[in-house]
Amino acid sequence: MSASHNSGVSVPKLSRRADSLGTENAFVVLAEVNALIRQGKKIVSFCIGQPDFPTPRYVQEAAIAAIKAGRHGYTPSAGIDPLRSAVARDIGARRGLSIKPDDVVVAAGAKPFIAYTIASVTDYGAGDEVIYPVPGFPIYESQIVANGAVPVPIYLRESRGFAFDPADLEAKITPQTRLLILNTPQNPTGGVLGREVLDSVADILSRHPQVWVFADEIYSRLVYDGMFDSLAARPGMLERTIISDGASKTWAMTGWRIGYAANRALAPVFTRWITNTESCAAQVSQWAALAAITGPQTAADAMRARFLERRDLIVRLLNEVPGITCATPGGAFYVWPNVTEACKMTGCADSEAFRLRLLQEADVAVLADIHFGRRVPGEGQHIRFSYAASTETIERGIARLADFVRTRAK
């Protein structure tokens, strides 16, 4: 008879790596939300960062054609050649760079490249440091810690349009610094790193040749004011920068799991990582992504236009709620309103207490700032909304939020 987990039989202990591995709290909160929905609650959720549009029809048709053509087997670990060529042209053209197909590696989403990069440029327990943005995508810190490197946060400031102070970056670089993670446009703030900041970063890094850069640019096509800009476009930066992008956000393909990274020196290493882990990205998804990149961009442009309308709507509505101020983000599909006063008004100790009460008492699901790293000193309390939701959902959800603040105000 096999022993069950509750039979009192102990299992061997886990590694420090397994015990230290963090998670993505959006999925944790989503589980809470789903439990409430099962109880019959009508939750308005702004938790999950994925487009609420269908994958474009021509992309779906390309996948069906690939299935019918018998494209069911393994591909090379780095991805099919036509996709690598298309990615090289696309990310190169939009950044003003010359990228060769051999520089590009395709994986099951862009997320694996965070782990592959940290594992490739730091050594476990050697004291190697990784500088990463806070607030930021929680998987950065999770993978830094799991890979035995030292996490060094650099704080994004609301007063700087959610950029960091370049002097702060300079002060945090030490001889042990091996990697800088940059994310623009950002999750969770929607902030965009402007030309001046990127120029300053390139200038600082020119004095620290031991530092790699992981440029998380998955939202590169969702910039609303001006053109997208990349650190890799600065002199001497392309060789040291891992450009990470993918199909998920641009073409509403989150579940297809196609991401890609470009860097000449690390492409062979990433290819070996993929051989060691997932073998290759799903072949059908690769042909679908090829169609997405090379096909008509009308659907992607229409989604971007809708996101822009929603951004303007949610920012306007949030700024009408007592005790809340919301800066206008430059990209992605997130807003990061300051709820410091609303917390005080409603007797909430902090943003997490505010988030919980908003879920339990107003049936509105958001994420709190602590889901994206430690709270930034001196920056007050924030929550995150994903506006990958219909205008009707946005209007209903913010109305509930406003009602919650007004009726609970002490």
For the beta carbon of residue 236, count every other beta carbon within 10 angstroms: 11
Residue 215 sits in the same domain as residue 241: yes
Within 13 Å of residue 97, how many CA atoms lie on the same side as its CB?
27
- Cα distance between residue 226 and residue 230, in whole Å: 13
Which residues, at least 6 apart from 31, have a Cβ–Cβ distance to it below 8 Å? none
Final residue before a domain boundary, out of 279, 294, 309 = 294
Residue 109 lies in a domain: yes
Q: What is the DSSP letter of 209?
A: T
Statement to judge: residues 47 and 77 lie in one domain: no
Question: Is the same domain home to 163 and 184?
Answer: yes
* Secondary structure element (H or E) that encloses residue 112, with its range: helix 112-121
Are 259 and 245 in contact by the 8 Å Cβ rule? The answer is: yes
CB-CB neighbours of 30 under 10 Å:
16
Q: How many of the other CB atoms lie within 10 Å of CB of 221?
A: 20
Q: Tokens 């102990």 label which residue?
A: 10
- Quote the domain boundaries for residue 394: 16-54+299-408
Low-confidence residues of the chain, pLDDT below 70? 1-7
**Per residue in 39-69, is it b (16+ CB within 10 Å) or e — as a string?**
eeeebbbbbbbebbeebbeebeebbeebeee
The answer as to whether 10 is a domain residue is no
In this prediction, residue 348 carries a pLDDT of 97
Q: Are residues 49 and 131 in the same domain?
A: no
| Domain tally, the chain | 2
Question: CATH no. for residue 114?
Answer: 3.40.640.10
Residue where a domain terminates, one of 266, 294, 322: 294
Residue type for 280, please? Answer: C
Q: What is the pLDDT of residue 26?
A: 77
Residue 27's pLDDT is 79
At residue 3, the pLDDT reads: 47
Between the CA of residue 255 and those of 3, 51, 98, 385, what are the distances in Å?
36, 11, 30, 21
Per-residue CA distances from 365 to 131, 315, 324, 373 (Å): 30, 17, 17, 19
127 and 97 within one domain: yes
| Farthest-apart Cα atoms in the chain, separation | 67
Three-state secondary structure call for residue 323? coil
- pLDDT tens sequence across 276-325: 999 999 999 999 999 999 999 999 999 999 999 999 999 999 999 999 99
The residue behind tokens 């799903």 is 282
Rounded CA-CA distance 169/165 in Å is 7
The pLDDT score that the predictor gives to residue 152 is 98
